[in-house]
C-alpha cells in the first residue's frame, strides 16, 4: 500500500479534512505533519460535524492510528480540549500519538504572536494569533521546548527557566508588558504532560511498522502551498511547509516513501489573512460565493476573501508538490453562477506572464488574464457520477484538469462524505 500525501494546493481551507476523512477508511495511519492549531479541518460524517485543529481527520475510524508528527507545533491545552470534546461525543482518542520531537506552543508564543502583529500595524500578516510563527521561530533558533520534554519534569523546569528569562526580557523591555511566571507555566505544563504522557511516542517507528506491513499511510497536510514560507506569498505566509516535501520532514519519512501526492483545490480560490490574491473578487460575485459557501475561517471566524480559480498559481502548486492527482472541492458552490472565469495568465507591467512571481510586490501588481466559461446553473450536490454532471460542469472540470496538469481523481459537491464523485481511482 502506498503513502499518500494530501496537500492543500492553494491558500488553505481547500477541504483537505473531508478528503482525508474519505480516504482514511482504507488507511492504517494518518499523520499531521506541519502547522499547529492555526489549521481548522471541518469533517462531516455519520457522527456529526467536527472542527479539528490538531487531531488528524482519521480519528473517526477505529482502525486508524493518528499521529501528530514532529513537524507540528503543539499547544497542549488545545490538544487536550480537542481530545475531551471528541471523547464527549463518543470518539475514542486512545489511538492518538504525538511525536516526542514536536515543539510545544508556550504561553509566550501566543502572547508574542499578538504583540508582533500589533507592532506591524498596517503591515500585519493577519496571523491566526495562535503562537505559530513565534513557536517555529524558536524551534529554528533552538529555543524550543519539545513534547518529549514534558516527560522529564526536572529537565523541563531547567529548560523553561532558561528560556523564560530570555522571553521575559523581550516581553518587559521591548513590549512593556508584564513578565510571565515560571511557576505557573511549569505547573500547568506538568499537568499537560501527565495527561498526554500515554500518547507521547517515537512516532517514526510506528510509521516504519505500518510500511513494513504494507499498510496505507496518509500524510495530512495543513494550510496550503501558497502559504509556504519558501514558495508562498512571503512574508504573507505561515511558518512551516505545507508542501509534500514538508510531509517527509514533518512525519519522519524519506522522500522515496511517498508514492502519491493528491493536491486539493477548491473550484475557486479563497484566502484568509493579508497578502496578494490575484483573482480576488471584491464585488457581488465574491460576496455571493462567500455566503453560499459560508467562507468564514474555521479557526478564527474571519470572512475569507474569495476569487476565481487561479490556474497560474495552481500549475505552480503542481510543479513544486509533484501532484500525481487532484481533488476539486466545492464545485456545487458555483452551481448558480451564469458565467465562470479562470485565470490563465497575469499581466505584469504591460507583459503577459504565465508563472507565479516569487516577489510579493510583483504579484500585487499582477492583473489576472481570464478565460470565460458558461456556468451550468443547476444543482450538482446530489450527483455521484461524473457523466451525470451538467456538460458545462464537466467542461469546467476538464479545463481545470488540463490547466493544472494532473488528473482529477475526486470531485466534492457537498460537505457530507457521500457527496463525492470518484472520477478516477487514486490507487
Chain contacts with ligand IMP (rule: CB under 6 A):
12-13, 38-40, 125-128, 130, 132-133, 222-223, 227, 238-239, 272-273
- Alpha carbon 191 to its chain's center: 29
Q: Which helix (H) or strand (E) holds 270?
A: strand 269-271
C-alpha cell at 335: 452551481
b/e burial code for range 414-426 (CB count within 10 A of at least 16 → b): bbebebbbebeeb
Q: In the bound complex, what is the minimum distance in angstroms from residue 59's beta carbon to ligand IMP? A: 18
Taking the complex as a whole, the smallest distance from the CB of residue 129 to ligand IMP amounts, in Å, to 7
The neighbour count for residue 311, using CB atoms within 10 Å, is 24
Q: Between 127 and 317, name the residue whose CB sits nearer to ligand IMP.
A: 127
The residue among 198 and 235 lying less far from ligand IMP, judged by its C-beta, is 235
- Strand-pair partners of 423: none
- 12 vs 257 by CB, closer to ligand IMP: 12
- Residue 136 CB, nearest distance to ligand IMP (Å)? 8
> Nearer Cβ to ligand IMP, position 268 or 396?
268
41 a catalytic residue: yes
Computed over its alpha carbons, how large is the radius of gyration of the chain?
22
Beta carbon nearer to ligand IMP, 40 or 257: 40
In the complex, least distance from residue 347 CB atom to ligand IMP, rounded to whole angstroms: 25
Distance CA 127, CA 148 (A): 27
57 Cβ contact partners less than 8 Å away, ≥ 6 residues apart: 16, 17, 20, 21, 24, 30, 41, 43, 220
Cβ atoms of 17 and 327 within 8 Å: the answer is: no
Cβ 228 to ligand IMP shortest distance, Å: 10
Min CB(15)–ligand IMP separation in Å: 11
**Is 13 a known active-site residue?**
yes
Give 283-297 as a 3 state SS string: CHHHHHHHHHCCCEC
Q: Among residues 119 and 391, whose Cβ is nearest to ligand IMP? A: 119
Residue from 85, 79, 96, 64 nearest 200 by CA: 96
* Shortest separation between residue 194's beta carbon and ligand IMP, angstroms: 28
Q: Which candidate in 13, 21, 149, 310 is catalytic?
A: 13
Would you say 179 or 297 has its CB closer to ligand IMP? 297
The reply to whether omega before 235 is within 30° of 0 (cis) is yes
The set of cell numbers assigned to 200 is 507521547
- Backbone region of residue 350 per phi and psi (left: phi > 0; alpha: psi in -120 to 50; beta: other values): left
Query: Which three-class secondary structure state does DSSP give residue 180?
Result: coil
Q: Supply angle C-alpha 27, 28, 30, rounded to 5.
A: 75
User: Which residue's beta carbon is nearest to the bound ligand IMP?
Assistant: 273
The whole-angstrom separation of Cα 44 and Cα 34 is 22
Paired sense of beta strands 367-374 and 96-99, if any: unpaired
CA torsion 245-240-265-123 (nearest 10°) is -140
Q: In angstroms, what is the minimal distance from the CB of 40 to ligand IMP?
A: 6
Q: What is the DSSP letter of 357?
A: -
Catalytic option among 21, 37, 41, 310: 41
* Residues 215, 3: Cα–Cα separation, whole Å: 8
Positions marked active-site: 13, 41
Amino acid at each position: 500500500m502506498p503513502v499518500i500525501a494530501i496537500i492543500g494546493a492553494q491558500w488553505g481551507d481547500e477541504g483537505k479534512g473531508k478528503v482525508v476523512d474519505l480516504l482514511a477508511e482504507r488507511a492504517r495511519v494518518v499523520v499531521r505533519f506541519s502547522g499547529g492549531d492555526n489549521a481548522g479541518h471541518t469533517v462531516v460524517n455519520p457522527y456529526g460535524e467536527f472542527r479539528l485543529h490538531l487531531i488528524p481527520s482519521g480519528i473517526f475510524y477505529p482502525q486508524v492510528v493518528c499521529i501528530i508528527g514532529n513537524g507540528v507545533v503543539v499547544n497542549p491545552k488545545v490538544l487536550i480540549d480537542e481530545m475531551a470534546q471528541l471523547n464527549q461525543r463518543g470518539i475514542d482518542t486512545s489511538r492518538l500519538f504525538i511525536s516526542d520531537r514536536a515543539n510545544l506552543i508556550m504561553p509566550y508564543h501566543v502572547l508574542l504572536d499578538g504583540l508582533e502583529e500589533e507592532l506591524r500595524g498596517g503591515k500585519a500578516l493577519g496571523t491566526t494569533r495562535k503562537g505559530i510563527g513565534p513557536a517555529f521561530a524558536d524551534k529554528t533558533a533552538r529555543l524550543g521546548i519539545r513534547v518529549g520534554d514534558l516527560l522529564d519534569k526536572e529537565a523541563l523546569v531547567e529548560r523553561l527557566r532558561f528560556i523564560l528569562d530570555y522571553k521575559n526580557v523581550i516581553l518587559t523591555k521591548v513590549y512593556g508588558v508584564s513578565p510571565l511566571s515560571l511557576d505557573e507555566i511549569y505547573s500547568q505544563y506538568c499537568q499537560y504532560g501527565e495527561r498526554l504522557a500515554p500518547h507521547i511516542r517515537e512516532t517514526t517507528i510506528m510509521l516504519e511498522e505500518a510500511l513494513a506491513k504494507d499498510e496505507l499511510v496518509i500524510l495530512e497536510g495543513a494550510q496550503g502551498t501558497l502559504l509556504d514560507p519558501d514558495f508562498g506569498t512571503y512574508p504573507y505566509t505561515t511558518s512551516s511547509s505545507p508542501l509534500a516535501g514538508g510531509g517527509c520532514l514533518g512525519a519522519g519519512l524519506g522522500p522515496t516513501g511517498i508514492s502519491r501526492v493528491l493536491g486539493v483545490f477548491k473550484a475557486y480560490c479563497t484566502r484568509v489573512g493579508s497578502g496578494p490574491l490575484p483573482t480576488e473578487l471584491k464585488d457581488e460575485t465574491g460576496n455571493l460565493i462567500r455566503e453560499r459557501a459560508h467562507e468564514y475561517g474555521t479557526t478564527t471566524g474571519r470572512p475569507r476573501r474569495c476569487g476565481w480559480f487561479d490556474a497560474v498559481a495552481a500549475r505552480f502548486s503542481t510543479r513544486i508538490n509533484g501532484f500525481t492527482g487532484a481533488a476539486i472541492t466545492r464545485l456545487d458552490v458555483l452551481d448558480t453562477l451564469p458565467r465562470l472565469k479562470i485565470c490563465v495568465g497575469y499581466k505584469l507591467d504591460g507583459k503577459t506572464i504565465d508563472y507565479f512571481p516569487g516577489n510579493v510586490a510583483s504579484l500585487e501588481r499582477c492583473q489576472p488574464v481570464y478565460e470565460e466559461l458558461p456556468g451550468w446553473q443547476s444543482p450538482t450536490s446530489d450527483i455521484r457520477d461524473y457523466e451525470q454532471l451538467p456538460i458545462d460542469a464537466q467542461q469546467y472540470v476538464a479545463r481545470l484538469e488540463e490547466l493544472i496538469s494532473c488528473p482529477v481523481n475526486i470531485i466534492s459537491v457537498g460537505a457530507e462524505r457521500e457527496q463525492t464523485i470518484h472520477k478516477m481511482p487514486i490507487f
